[in-house]
Chains A and B, each alone.
Chain A
Amino acid sequence: MSLFHRRSRVGWLTAGAVALGLLVSACGGAKQPQTPPAQQGGQQAAQQEQAKPAGPKTLVWGRGGDTVSLDPIQPTDGESFKVINQIYDTLVRYKAGKTEVEPALATDWQASPDAKEWTFSLRQGVKFHDGTEFDAEAVKFNFDRWRDTKNPYHKGGEFAYYSYMFGGFDDKSVIQDVQVVDKYKVKFTLKRPLAYFLQNLAMPMFSIASPTAIKADPEALGQKPVGTGAYKFVDWKKGESITLEANPDYWGGKPKIDRIIYRSIPDNNARLLALQSGDIDVMDGVEPNQLQVIQSDDRFQVALRPAMNVGYLAFNMDKKPFDNPLVRKAINHAIDKKAIVETLYAGLGQVAVTPLPPSMWGWTDDVTQYPYDPQKAKQLLAQAGFPNGFKTQLWAMPVPRPYMPQPEKIAQAIQGYLKEVGIEAEIVTYEWATYLEKTGMGEHTMALLGWVGDNGDPDNFLYVLLDKDNAKGPDAGNIAFYRNDQLHELLVQAQEIPDQSRRAELYVRAQKIIAEDAPWVVLAHAQEPIVMKKGIQGYVPNPTGSEPLYQITLP
């Protein structure tokens, strides 16, 4: 049956034109620059003013995803740690905006000269949100639960980060034993020296949870968290929001904001709209093109998270011709990193000279550098026996990551630079999980990837990403499959010295070796923008990716 029979064409056209006109004007209206907001920020805000006369001071944080779990040791995603950071404390924590540590639940500590024994004095008079007292027993209880797979409370997940940062469980764990010395003193005994032990303890995964809550149900902690932190858990509406309220007895002082609400708004455009319409006060996960919109809007301010990451192009040195250092150096000269960072990192990138981000101790730029020089690149290629270049593949990540905001565009740029020196690179990409798997197995020739640091220690970059220990499939951290014994010795030595300045010297030497061998093209370090309403003060983003918010004030 025809839906439109007996219809005059003229009528159709007229009606169509009318409808189109309406649509176009609607879109046009949407594209006009922001009209300055009314004093009250629109009707909605006004309504809320009425809804809560001098009600609790609330901060609404808009983000791209929901939390997975609030049991600190279980999740592996940043969205979980953002919230965990507010509810719990760690023994030591990162200084505001830095990766060095300062006291938190522990007020003071000593390491034995061989870095195998660490004794912590604990803060007294601290209580968990359920009223349980915080003491040495509570610290031991948490660490035993994580380490010992036969512990009755070793439930609720895979404890991935414990095994990742401390080498495994049971007999594999670097932490051999945790002893209660007295009520407020606890002693850790390590199997081998671990110079970055303190750095690890500051990570949010090793937050101390209430033993009472864990004993009641170790699997429920992820949904009903109980810590000692500045904020107490109130309510979690899955996929929507998590509400926290201030803990008035917090040892660091009563928080200045009464409630923090984390809202998940997955679509980046929708999240920006929610910020513009006043539904949220803070937005993270900002896209470069959105940043320009925001910066031209005087209602908002931008905070930059210092980089603790690196984006790189790794050569698979197990595959020809990338086993040849001349080829690797040639490609390093062929790519204009500065141009890539300027055009594709939205002003948030820093050109990288070594794998370490500049904000980290031990960083140096006194290494072999590869300025953009296509002529030199061609010369090196000819020397290597490829006067006419060669054909290869360039693997590109399918998703933007903090260290690489626009991977497909970066890949296209690199492809263009390579073409100029005669190298034909076909861009290959896979869905993210698959991409990680295949690069971990070494199926690639050249691949873009990056790394977000964990504990703020150079070891966590150099050893994890470039030591020969990690150049093994099926899940190599070192996807350049770069194996240098001299480097390995330096890195292992640096793992065992508790003295930071002596370690820093070793890492400077390590960076020189890496730069000379050129297993990567180190591209960039990226800062992360966090956008918030003007008037919010006291927010200091930490390079490690999340920070406590109890010192923030609202206008």
Chain B
Amino acid sequence: MTPKFEYAPAPESRSVVDIASSYGLFIGGEFVDPADGKSFKTVNPATEEKLSDVSEASAADVDKAVRAARRAYDRTWSRMSGAERGKYLYRIARLLQERAREFAVLETLDNGKPIKESRDVDVPTAAAHFFYHAGWADKLEYAGLGPAPKSLGVVGQVIPWNFPLLMLAWKIAPALATGNTVVLKPAETTPLTALLFAEVCRQADLPPGVVNIVTGAGPTGQAIVEHPGVDKIAFTGSTDVGKAIARAVAGTRKRVTLELGGKAANIVFDDAAIDQAVEGIVNGIFFNQGHVCCAGSRLLVQESVADDVVHRLQRRLRTLRVGDPMDKNTDVGAINSAAQLARITELTEAGVAEGAQRWSPDVELPKRGYWFAPTVFTGVSQAHRIAREEIFGPVLSVLTFRTPDEAVAKANNTPYGLSAGIWSEKGSRVLAIADKLRAGVVWANTFNRFDPTSPFGGYKESGYGREGGRQGLAAYLDTEGTH
């Protein structure tokens, strides 16, 4: 029997963060109260402790924010040189770095993700997105989108709860770099880092109205999507909501980009470096509790090595530390909300009911908060719900294949097409399989890598448009007649 080593607790201090008891809406450079005074609470999903009361923006508040954004666009932002715009973005990037600890702690408190991930991934990557796009602001004519790309105007942005600050950076940085002004709605369960970002905008002396942040739930987002003064919608979230947005803008001339769900295949060939692949599988599905649209949720293993891979995967999962997200040794944190926990529970129960075999390591989950143990299903068929529907949680479905063609066919057998993984030591096979996968991002012998220079986005029902890189700029520019 292998000895079990205990870790001493290593909690991150939360003293660096001041959370106000309530927050207004950030409109025109000021925090203002919502028109009808409504608010909702945001909680720490790891403890169910209430963190703060946040304003719920009505259609009237959204209208006010859109007007502020339009005013800022007409009077200052669209008239400013790209070089000056870029300097504001550089300031924001630096401020994010200076306040990195504060953002990381707040993100973990509000979202439930492990502090090591918010500290080492979310916050630095968010800053990197502002740095990358800052440099584009005065170089747009070199982006390959035609000689005179123009900004679109007011951009409405609706982002999800899985990477609250990072998604904000993905949306706001390119929008501002290309000369647009924004009205952004963070997710209702994770609004706090967006509200702290409003402070960063103030410290950067960003002209009032260039960035407006309205908090709220679905109806607030809908008010943004349907507002006639919005020129472009950028949404990241579920495929169902994405379809509703596509319907809502039909017949208008609004631009839309949608980053929606996924059901990524992570394909392991028999010649893969298995231990390395196992690390990639773990990172692919258990990173951020599996709350990742591009998570490698369908593991396709070549039959000849399937037992070995599953065995080594289980051994590895026994070493994962699940629990207090503020502990620096925690690998898997809390599920973001009770609603999401219910969804994960429902789908895993369907997996059992449909005949797949469920396995979890022996972990003790905290008594309070929303928790779900890392889970692996074997004996999964393509017809099972757990192989078809996005679970958005720490649940992996294992399927097998015999030939490369079968792997490709199974990988592509989904309406989604966001991401995929390939594990093989044979470069020619990796490249051939990558060619055949219908997915916007293909990670070969790695998984869940992100970089501001790399376009990210889906095929098929995973949405349209790309974020990041040269391709991401196109979504925020009018290049008609030149592109």
**A and B are partners in one complex rather than unrelated chains:** no
